[in-house]
Amino acid sequence: AGLGHLKFCFLLTSGIAMGGTKEQELLSHDRVKRGWVWNQFFVVEEYTGTEPLYVGKIHTDSDEGEGNIKYTISGQGAGTIFIIDELTGDIHATERLDREEQSFYTLKAQARDRLTNELLESESEFVIKVQDINDSEPKFLEGPYIGSVAELSQIGTSVMKVTASDADDPTYGSSARVVYSVLDGEKFFTVDRQTGLIRTAVADLDRETQDRYELVVKATDMAGQMGGLSGSTTVTIVITDVNDNPPRFPQKMYQFSVSEGAAVGTPVGRVIATDADMGENTDMSYLIKDEEGGELFKVTTDGNTQEAVIAIKKPLDFESKRTHNVVVEAVNKHVDPRFLELGSFRDQTIVRVSVTDTDEPPVFHPADGATMEVQEDARLGALVGTVTAKDPDMENAPVRFSIDPNTDQEQIFHIDPVSGAITLGKVLDRETAGWHNITVTAVESDNISQISHSSVSVRILDVNDNPPELATPYEASICEDAKPGQLIHTISVVDRDEPQSGHHFYFTLAPEATNNRHFTLWDVKDNTAGIRTQRSGFNRHEQNVYLLPILVVDSGPPALSSTGTLTIHVCGCDPEGAIQSCNATAYVISTALSPGALIALLVCMLILIGHCTVFQGVK
């Protein structure tokens, strides 16, 4: 009985195992050398019939149909999902199977003696495989999806990829073969049928018109054939910004007003150019384009609000100009060269600034102060000059003048409070003070709080009232053997006056020295003079000092003069001309002197000794 062949019979079907004869359904495989010869059984999933589904049959050659052999199975689902007819070996599935939950079952088959329950064959393992049907639709496990693409991208620009999964068997048929299509939004985007890659379908996506799109992408199995299952997902595509819009001022003119007394730096107003873009593509800077506006106003950009802040650059004057038209330009900071063909990324507007009047203090003319001149010998009460100041707010409004006493403590000047005429109150002396700086005050008669000041510089013009003088008490030395025409000394002079045409002095020897035979004077014509020797053979023992009077005359008017003295010492010199001594040596007394001369010489010596004694006593 144990030598028979056990046959495994299984059903080959592409549908539900129903109908047909068992003879047509059975395929047998013989074992070799008593070994089990087994093969797979197949059972279709999702069987919905009311009767158990026939799976296959096991059989042994030793079974002669007498009922002596009992067939049994063990393993996964044995006795529950799968049952076997002990007598015939027919196996049936009693439950609805799902390949996606479990794709196969492993069991073992046994052939036993019905009386003894002994195994007639060694048990053998076999597999029941659940055959797939297309019962699972594709699913987008990562959805919903969110992607982005820049506006104005070219057609075919890649946006993102979507992927659907199908739980059916990818190795069997086309149940898990998925293709993609766009259900909603196909006008703007396409999806690759095989890969799920989404691309742009148009080149004019405009974020400013629509900043996002909702697509419905469908995945269909069975390669899209009729009867295939499908699933869908939503894809949100955000359109990102590019700088394709220039700044634009909402108005072509703005109007502001500001007081003429407003300080430099005072904001006049704010304007803003709008930009349909977003983020840094809206960053812009502002410029003042007209020359006059750039002189009086400046513009800055508020980094938080992107507004143009117009402020005062120089003081404004209602009386000079009451309205200013300032051309303000807005320019994008980050211009994308790709879109320059769309036009200029700048815009202009006019900011009209009206200047309002304020009560201002008197204004001096000239505004930066006045310089006046007066002769130093002008009489008391003489007119020095006149200052002028006017009320800028009212024509012919009375203004009163005064001199700041702190700038004229000696009251050298007076001023007429009505006319502004400045006159002398004291005698002037240019050599004492050549300039006087005073401050004149102007105040409105009907509003003493409106006060202004101006500096007045008075220059004292020189009058020739000081004679020229030798610059120093000049002294010179000559050697006893000096040659005729030898330059002894050069002299110059000083003069406290300052004539407008400059100094010019004339030199000559004083009349009492005109006929001297020792020295001559040479006028160099550059306001200096040279003294030369006129003879040779000076003897210091005969005369060791000469006093030479020199007359100096200026150019006036009127011409003034003075006389100075040049002291010339006669000295002993070495052969090279270097001075050795300028003191007179004692005369050598001759034996031929008379007694009277000797007595006179003795008296002189006694007098000299007496002076020396007194000098020593004083010391």
Task: Establish if 227 belongs to a structural domain.
Answer: yes
User: Of 75, 96, 131, which residue sits at a domain end?
Assistant: 131
13 & 125 share domain: yes
Residue 176's alpha-carbon distances to 61, 194, 196, 233, in angstroms, are: 42, 13, 15, 18
Report pLDDT for 15. Answer: 33
Task: Establish if 616 belongs to a structural domain.
Answer: no
Mean pLDDT of 455-469: 91
Mean pLDDT of 350-371: 92
Selected residue with higher pLDDT from 65 and 235: 235
Which tokens hold the place of 487?
């330059």
Residue 162's alpha-carbon distances to 179, 186, 190, in angstroms, are: 11, 15, 12
Mean pLDDT over the full length of the chain: 85
78 touches 127 (CB < 8 A): no
> Is residue 2 predicted with pLDDT exceeding 80?
no
Q: How many domains does the chain have?
A: 5
Selected residue with higher pLDDT from 24 and 108: 108
> Is residue 494 predicted with pLDDT exceeding 70?
yes
Distance, in Å, from the CA atom of 434 to the CA atom of 107, rounded to the nearest integer, reads: 133
User: Who contacts 605 (Cβ-Cβ below 8 Å, separation ≥6)?
Assistant: none
> Which of 140-149, 264-273, 492-501, 523-532 is predicted with the least confidence, judged by mean pLDDT?
492-501
Report pLDDT for 227. Answer: 83
Report pLDDT for 160. Answer: 96
> Is residue 354 predicted with pLDDT exceeding 80?
yes
> Which of 35-49, 321-335, 560-574 is predicted with the least confidence, judged by mean pLDDT?
35-49
Task: Establish if 368 belongs to a structural domain.
Answer: yes
352 & 386 share domain: no
Distance, in Å, from the CA atom of 182 to the CA atom of 185, rounded to the nearest integer, reads: 7
513 & 543 share domain: yes
pLDDT tens track for 74-102: 999 999 999 999 998 999 999 999 888 89
Q: What is the CATH number of the domain that holds 16?
A: 2.60.40.60
199 & 235 share domain: yes
14 & 30 share domain: yes
Report pLDDT for 39. Answer: 53
Left (φ > 0), alpha (ψ -120 to 50) or beta: where does 215 sit? beta
Amino acid at 539: N
pLDDT tens track for 164-191: 999 888 877 788 899 999 999 999 999 9
- In this structure, the strands spanning 53-60 and 6-10 are antiparallel
384 touches 372 (CB < 8 A): yes
> Is residue 138 predicted with pLDDT exceeding 50?
yes
Residue whose structure tokens are 């040779």: 536
Report pLDDT for 146. Answer: 96
474 touches 566 (CB < 8 A): yes
Mean pLDDT of 358-376: 90
Binning pLDDT at 50, 70 and 90, where does residue 602 land? very low
340 & 297 share domain: yes
Selected residue with higher pLDDT from 297 and 15: 297
User: Of 299, 331, 356, which residue sits at a domain end?
Assistant: 356
From the DSSP assignment, how many helices (H) and strands (E) are in the chain? Answer: 3, 40
- In this structure, the strands spanning 124-131 and 104-113 are antiparallel
Report pLDDT for 67. Answer: 86
> Is residue 345 predicted with pLDDT exceeding 60?
yes
Which residues span the domain enclosing 551? 469-581
> Is residue 505 predicted with pLDDT exceeding 90?
yes
78 & 26 share domain: yes
Please, which residues bridge with residue 519 across strands? 533
Report pLDDT for 342. Answer: 78
Distance, in Å, from the CA atom of 309 to the CA atom of 288, rounded to the nearest integer, reads: 11
Mean pLDDT of 438-466: 92
> Is residue 615 predicted with pLDDT exceeding 50?
no
% of the chain at pLDDT higher than 70: 88
Residue whose structure tokens are 């006049």: 268
Task: Establish if 138 belongs to a structural domain.
Answer: no
> Which of 32-41, 254-263, 335-344, 516-525 is predicted with the least confidence, judged by mean pLDDT?
32-41
Task: Establish if 603 belongs to a structural domain.
Answer: no
110 & 152 share domain: no
25 & 111 share domain: yes
Selected residue with higher pLDDT from 611 and 89: 89
Task: Establish if 301 belongs to a structural domain.
Answer: yes
348 touches 257 (CB < 8 A): no
Report pLDDT for 40. Answer: 66
User: Of 200, 216, 240, which residue sits at a domain end?
Assistant: 240
> Is residue 421 predicted with pLDDT exceeding 90?
yes
Report pLDDT for 584. Answer: 55
Mean pLDDT of 340-352: 89
Task: Establish if 612 belongs to a structural domain.
Answer: no
337 & 442 share domain: no
47 & 95 share domain: yes
Which of 406, 411, 365 minimizes the C-alpha distance to 389? 365
Order the strands of the 528-533 sheet from edge to edge.
Answer: 469-470, 487-494, 528-533, 519-523
Q: How many CB atoms lie within 10 A of CB 6?
A: 30
478 & 566 share domain: yes
Mean pLDDT of 128-132: 86
Which tokens hold the place of 411?
């009251």
> Is residue 595 predicted with pLDDT exceeding 80?
no
pTM for this model (two decimals) = 0.48
Please, which residues bridge with residue 383 across strands? 423
Task: Establish if 27 belongs to a structural domain.
Answer: yes
> Is residue 403 predicted with pLDDT exceeding 60?
yes
User: Who contacts 610 (Cβ-Cβ below 8 Å, separation ≥6)?
Assistant: none
Mean pLDDT of 17-46: 48
